[in-house]
Amino acid sequence: MPATVPTPRSVAPLLEVEDLHVEFDTPDGPVEAVTGVGLTVGAQETVAVVGESGSGKTVTALAVLQLLDGGRISRGRVLWDGTDLTGLDRRALRRIRGNEIAMIFQDPMTSLDPLYSVGHQIVEALRLHSRMSKRAARERAVELLARVGMPDPRRRLDSYPHQLSGGQRQRVMIAIALACSPRLLIADEPTTALDVTVEAQILELLRELQAEYRTAMLLVTHDMGVVAETADRVIVFYAGQVVEHGPAADVLRDPQHPYTAALLEAVPGRETDRAEPLAAIPGAVPPPRAMPPGCRFHTRCAMAWDECARDEPQLYPLSGARAARCLRHRSGTAVPVATGKGA
Amino acid sequence: MSSPAARALPTGAPPDEDLLEVTDLVKHFPITRGILRRTIGHVRAVDGVSFRIAPGETVGLVGESGSGKSTVARLVLRLLEPTSGSIRFAGREIAHLPAKELVPLRRRMSIVFQDPVSSFDPRMTVCSVITEPLEAQGISTGREARRRAGELLELVGLSAGDLDRYPHQFSGGQAQRIAIARALSTDPRLLVCDEAVSALDVSVQAQVLNLLRRLQAELDLAYLFIAHDLNVVRYVSDRVCVMYLGRIVEQGPADQLLADPRHPYTQSLAAAIAADPRSGVRRRRGVVRGETPSPSDPPPGCHFHPRCPYAFDRCTSVVPVPVAAGPGRTASCHLVGEARGA
């Protein structure tokens, strides 16, 4: 059964990923990094994909744009405005990338070309996707740099990436991403490499631009704080699967999957009692080749009982446009112990 | 000769019981140009830093990139020699001690870095990684060192059975445990944690933070805990020093400092820490502007003044000195203390 996250809106979603499986070849044979992931992003919606390293969140984001390096989609569909991107040729894909879907990454240095000035790269992006004279594109580039809060934008056109700070480089990437007014921006850990005061500025900028350009955003992050601040909906990944999804505020306040709850508890917050040890999750994420049977989280779960090691949980729908992949929510399942609320 | 009574009741001056006392520490790095490497200026990476750490205490050092916090770590361990200032460790002045005389002191101070695997030689087994400092210090060798390495692995929550494996066979969290075991091998009094949990996934980060707390209680360790995550620093530290462009702008007890920051830079940091997801509190918007300027060309006066919402004339020319900002607290800001009412 394809696990697809329903949009709360009645209109068809912009992006719809259905039952996505992604495989990578290794010397020991193929390994599945993403197993049956489904998600949707509606127009102008911000959806956060949250998880730890190895959860499959970045692989899913790259699969949307067919940018998997060494991996392949072995099953499932990626519907963009109704068209399946997995069947498109490179030319058709290129039209969608940049024009309709843009992407920014954690480290802009890897996506900016060190040999060309910032201005040249923005002008290139503009002219690649729309007919525009060089001069007009340069003027537009100044406007874009000014819009993303670059100090002294006209002079910055002639700067090279290495002459900019991390925050400024991310501003340039955002300017390039917005150059063609995409309908969806995929942002993979866009603030992880930045200082906190700069992170605050970049998140605020993304929020403003999203409202201004009416762009939807798929935000990949490991940081629940960033989710709380930006997302309408959140999708929690664990070990290559979606384990929980729903409206961000509801999921964060009252998580229904033990992993989501444990993840929230493990981070020290402003109010965390310094006299008490942190509620750490024991063990580590299992490697893709050694997934435990039953629920993939059961070996680390404080609420697991014997069924969890045997039955593979589905993503069970809950009220309030939510769902959780936990046997406690399977209808007819008698939960053996009273585990209290959420956490 | 002092009388027993005078020794029992120290007067005015604070008791000389600090494990580490850093005073007016300065480190300048030359900026060179051309094939002759002519010096054309200096980066004032650390520009007059003073703080203390008592035995068994955790002092957090927070700051953003370019603040000089990692340089402070390297100076304290004398991996770098300071330009000027004093570093007293266990009662000895070590700021300019020659390498040979540092060797016995090095047993008592260690460091754990952000990325442990890259600091290990990939050809070394876990056992060699842990016993290397023991052998270098002449503390123990051979079977005795191996026995100690096994004990240390158990102490950090791994197994003596892991001794003959290689560090790259372990997950990030386990590798950091191995790095901690190595750092503890010589029985140090001070452990410097330089972004030691910053690269770990949150679930693993919590495990390592709990381990550090347990080790501190069991071994009476003092920590200099360097990190950029303010919530993590608040959680582990007794006291916190906030650095900005080579200077400590504010220091004080962890809870008070973050609940009621006095320096405008600390206020910005506290406001900028990501929202608390559980309570749904979002961060205050628009409190800081701009980015940290280059440490090679810091602004005059208070380094923070170009980004400070409260800056006035004096801030652009006069360097603020630390003033009392409550019990056990200081802040280097012209608006704090006696100047506040003026």
Cβ distance A270 to B234 less than 8 Å, yes or no, reads yes
Q: Does B169 touch chain A (CB under 8 A)?
A: no
At B37, the pLDDT band (50, 70, 90 cuts) reads confident
A232 touches chain B (CB under 8 A): no
For residues A33-62, one letter each, b for 16 or more C-beta atoms within 10 angstroms of the residue's C-beta and e for the rest, the string is: bbbbbbbbbbbbbbbbbbbbebbbbbbbbb
Residue-range definition of the domain harbouring residue A42: 13-100+182-329
Shortest Cα–Cα distance, A194 to chain B (Å) = 9
Q: What is the mean pLDDT of residues B58-78?
A: 94
Alpha helix stretches (DSSP H) within B220-248? 230-236
Dihedral sign (CA A257, A262, A264, A270): positive
Say how far apart CA A157 and CA A19 lie, in whole Å. 43
Q: Is residue A322 part of a domain?
A: yes
pLDDT number for residue A151: 86
Q: How far is Cα A317 from Cα A315, in angstroms, rounded to an integer? A: 6
Contact B272 A204 (CB under 8 A): no
Residue-level pLDDT at B16: 52
Q: Are A179 and A129 in contact (CB under 8 A)?
A: yes
In a structure prediction context, what are the per-residue pLDDT tens digits for chain A, which is 343 residues long? 445 555 444 467 999 999 999 999 988 889 999 999 999 999 999 999 999 988 999 999 999 999 998 899 999 999 999 999 998 998 999 889 888 999 998 887 778 999 999 999 999 989 987 888 999 999 999 999 999 989 889 999 999 999 998 889 999 999 999 888 899 999 999 998 888 888 888 998 999 999 999 999 999 999 998 999 899 999 999 999 999 999 999 999 999 999 999 999 998 988 888 889 999 999 888 888 889 999 999 999 999 999 999 999 999 999 999 999 999 999 866 665 444 443 3
One-character DSSP codes across A51-102: --TTSSHHHHHHHHTT--SSEEEEEEEEEETTEEGGG--HHHHHHHBTTTEE
Name every chain B residue with its beta carbon within 8 A of the beta carbon of A268: 206, 209, 231-232, 234-235
Sign of CA dihedral B71, B72, B74, B78: positive
Residue A206 to residues A188, B291, B317: CA-CA distances in angstroms? Answer: 13, 17, 36
Q: Is the pLDDT of residue B12 over 60?
A: no
Residue A303 tokens read as 């609420």
A281: burial class by Cβ within 10 Å (0-12, 13-18, 19+)?
buried
Amino acid sitting at position B231: N
Residues 129-168 (A) with a CB less than 8 A from some CB of B: 151, 165-168
For residues B294-299, average pLDDT? 87
Between CA A328 and CA A259 the distance in angstroms is: 13
Give the pLDDT confidence score for residue B285 in this predicted structure: 57
> Residue B214's closest chain A neighbor by CA?
A277
Q: What is the pLDDT of residues B104-127, one digit of tens each?
A: 898 999 999 988 778 788 899 999
Closest Cβ–Cβ partner in B214, B254, B274 for A229: B274
Other Cβ atoms closer than 10 A to B96? 12
pLDDT exceeds cutoff 70 at B277: yes
| Residue A53 is assigned to a structural domain of this protein | yes
Instruction: Establish if B239 touches chain A: CB-CB under 8 angstroms.
Output: no
**Token match 């609420």: residue?**
A303
By percentage, how much of chain B surpasses pLDDT 90?
65
The predicted complex's ipTM stands at 0.84
Residue A15's nearest CA partner among A233, A203, A171, A212 is A233
Q: CATH number of the domain at A263, please.
A: 3.40.50.300
What is the distance between the alpha carbons of residues B242 and B266, in angstroms, rounded to a whole number?
7
Considering only A89-103, B29-43, B148-162, B306-320, which range has the smallest mean pLDDT?
Answer: B29-43
In a domain, A107, yes or no: no
Is A56 a domain residue?
Answer: yes
Strands B20-33 and A83-84: unpaired
Q: Which residues contact A209 (CB under 8 A, 6 or more apart)?
A: A147, A148, A174, A178, A215
Domain contains A108? no
A199 touches chain B (CB under 8 A): yes
CA angle centred on A104, ends A101 and A107, rounded to 5°: 160
Smallest CA–CA distance, residue A278 to chain B, in Å, is 6
Structural domains of chain B in order of their starting residue, each with its CATH number: 19-108+188-285 (3.40.50.300), 120-186 (no CATH)
Dig out the tokens for B100 from the structure: 């040979």
* Per-residue confidence (pLDDT) for residue B1, from 0 to 100: 40
Chain A contact present for B96, CB below 8 A: no
Residue-wise pLDDT for B146-184, tens only, equals 999 999 999 999 999 999 999 988 888 899 999 999 999
Query: What pLDDT score was predicted for residue A11?
Result: 62
| A117 occurs within a structural domain | no
Query: What is the pLDDT at residue B122?
Result: 87
Question: Cα B225 from chain centroid?
Answer: 4
Cβ-proximal residues to A90 (8 Å cutoff; 6+ apart), any chain: none
Would you place residue B304 in the very low, low, confident or very high pLDDT band (cuts 50, 70, 90)? very high
Closest to B78 (Cα-Cα) out of B187, B162, B155, B192: B192
Task: Give how many domains chain A has, as a whole number.
Answer: 1
- Collect all residues of chain A within an 8 Å Cβ-Cβ radius of residue B276: 225, 228, 269-271
